[in-house]
Structure 1
Amino acid sequence: MHIVVYCLDHPDVIALRRTHFAAHKARLETSPLHTVIAGPLTEPDGTIVGSFFLYDAHDIETVRAFVLEDPFNIAGIWKTVDIRCFEKRAGRC
C-alpha cells in the first residue's frame, strides 16, 4: 500500500530546519519503511516550506508512528502533518 505524507512548516523555521536536518536525514536513511520518494516542498523561488514522502508500507499506522517521531516533527518544524493512503491509477513505475 502506498502512503503519502505531506507536511507544511511553521513560518520562519529555516534555521531550525538546518539545525535538525542531519538527524532527520539519518533517521530516513535507517528507516525500516520502504521510501519510494522523499524531499522538501518548495516555493517557486526554492524556499523550503515543508516535506513530502511517499512510502510503500503494510499499514498506515506504522508510517504514522515513524513520521510523528521524526526529528523535524519533534522539534516543532512541521505545522501540519497529513498522512493518507494513496491508490496509484496512472503513471510509470
Structure 2
Amino acid sequence: MPLFAVHALDAPNALPRRLELYADHRTHRDEGEAAGVRIIFGGPLQSDDGSEMIGSCFIVEAPDRETVDSFIANDPFMRQGVWGEVCVSRFLRRLG
C-alpha cells in the first residue's frame, strides 16, 4: 500500500485553537484505520527554538490519495481552521 507524507502548517495565531482541539484531533487520528488510513508516525512541527507548535507532520499508509484527502478534510484541525496550508505528497520510503 502506498505511503503519503502530510505536512500541515498552522494558520497564524492558531496555537490556542490547536490546544483547545487537541483531544478531538487525537480521537480522529486514532480512528484513522476505520477511514482507511494507517498512521505510520507523526507529531507536531515546532518553531526553531522548540518553544511553540506550528503545525503537524505525519506519514500515512492508504490505498490512494483520495482516502488521505478525505481523512485530512475531516480532521478537527482542518475543519476548525487550525491548519492553514496542507501539502500531501506520495512518499517513497528509502531509509528506516
Query: Same-fold call, TM > 0.5?
Result: yes
Q: For residue 74 of structure 1, report the CA deviation from its aligned partner.
A: 0.6
Partner residue of 1:45 out of 43, 49, 68: 49
* Moved segments of 4+, more than 6 Å: none
What RMSD over aligned residues (CA atoms) do the two structures have, in Å? 0.9
TM-score normalised over the length of structure 2: 0.89
Q: For residue 44 of structure 1, report the CA deviation from its aligned partner.
A: 2.6
Which deviations, in whole Å up to 9, do the C-alpha atoms of 1:24-48 show, x marking residues without a partner?
0011012121110010011132211
Aligned to 1:2: 3
Aligned to 2:72: 67
TM-score normalised over the length of structure 1: 0.92
Question: Please, which runs of 5 or more residues in structure 1 have no aligned partner?
Answer: none
Question: Please, which runs of 5 or more residues in structure 2 have no aligned partner?
Answer: none
Cα distance in 2, alignment partners of residues 74 and 56 from structure 1: 22
State the aligned residue count: 91
